[in-house]
Amino acid sequence: MLIKIPALLSKNEVAHCRSILEAANWVDGKVTAGYQSARNKNNIQLEENSEASQQLGDIILSALANNNLFMSAALPLKIFPPLFNCYQGGHSFGVHVDNAIRQVKGTAVKVRTDLSMTLFFSEPDEYDGGELIIEDTYGTQSVKLAAGDMILYPSTSLHRVTPVTRGRRLASFFWLQSMVASDEKRSLLYDMDMSIQNLSQGNEDHPAIIQLTGVYHNLLRQWAQT
């Protein structure tokens, strides 16, 4: 299940974040790659525990906590602190699958990567290439979103970033552990939640809506891990 989260950050928030990114120090992106993916990874990124990363991460996490679409689709339990990368001058990232477990640097906290996220800071017309290519259940998807938009997709998916041949592609990438590990079950809950919300418009007290909401929560109670 691929879910687009439109306008997670406002244009003013994007501009503020970009000013921080453009003034920050960058390092080789291989520092957070596993053995296999390091062979295919060619980009630069902010250091994980840098002041800039922490400041930007707080902005993103605050926005996620207040985004109903994200909360419904992801059912987050733990979120890995956002990382930030830049592709330019031919940078690319070959086909890979994200590591199953990520440890938060400097802590004992481990996050199972159920869902991967990419939040875009550059507008699509600012760079050529740089598409996020995801091999989804329903075929290959090409993702290149407006600044402030985010894509949410299963971490089990094969994916890559095509070479950036003009301009700069600035983005944040990170992962989360969901309360519901199964993508299939999580998708069912998401579809049910969206249906309940649509049916509830003007009919929130209808007995069928109340019953369906109860079914949703009973399924979540059965499937959730906390």
What's the pLDDT tens digit per position in 34-93? 656 667 788 999 999 899 999 999 999 999 999 999 999 999 999 999 999 999 999 999
Sign of the torsion angle spanned by Cα atoms 80, 86, 87, 92: negative
**Residue 33 — very low, low, confident or very high, per pLDDT cuts 50/70/90?**
low
Half-sphere exposure (Cβ direction) of 160: Cα atoms closer than 13 Å: 16
φ/ψ of 168, rounded to 5, equals -130, 135
Does residue 203 sit in the same domain as residue 93?
no
Cα–Cα distance, 125 to 120 (Å, whole number): 12
Does residue 208 sit in the same domain as residue 170?
no
Rg (CA), the chain: 18
φ/ψ of 40, rounded to 5, equals -110, 0
Does residue 174 sit in the same domain as residue 195?
no
Q: Confirm whether residue 96 is marked as ligand binding.
A: yes
Q: Confirm whether residue 159 is marked as ligand binding.
A: yes
Q: Confirm whether residue 169 is marked as ligand binding.
A: yes
Could you tell me the maximum CA-CA distance found in the chain, to the nearest angstrom? 59
Helix, strand or coil, per DSSP, at residue 113? coil
Q: Tell the residue number behind the tokens 């059912």, with chain if given.
A: 75
Instruction: Indicate the number of domains in the chain.
Output: 2
What distance lies between CA 199 and its chain's CA centroid?
A: 28
What would the mean pLDDT of 181-206 be, rounded to a whole number? 92
Helix, strand or coil, per DSSP, at residue 76? strand
Does residue 87 sit in the same domain as residue 187?
no
Domain of 31, CATH number, reads: 2.60.120.620
Closest CA to 43 of 29, 60, 33: 29
Does residue 148 sit in the same domain as residue 75?
yes
pLDDT of residue 66: 98
Does residue 197 sit in the same domain as residue 172?
no
pLDDT digits (tens, 9 = 90+) for 174-184: 999 999 999 99
Does residue 91 sit in the same domain as residue 159?
yes
Domain of 198, CATH number, reads: 4.10.860
Query: In angstroms, how far is the first alpha carbon of the chain from the final one?
Result: 22
Does residue 29 sit in the same domain as residue 100?
yes
Does residue 34 sit in the same domain as residue 127?
yes
Boundary-marking domain end, from 143, 158, 178: 178
pLDDT at 125 over 90: yes
Does residue 157 sit in the same domain as residue 103?
yes
pLDDT of residue 21: 96
% of the chain at pLDDT higher than 90: 86
pLDDT of residue 34: 60
Going by the DSSP 8-state scheme, the letter that residue 217 receives in this structure is: H
Q: Tell the residue number behind the tokens 């003009």, with chain if given.
A: 166
Does residue 174 sit in the same domain as residue 73?
yes
Residue 194 belongs to domain spanning = 183-223
Does residue 81 sit in the same domain as residue 127?
yes
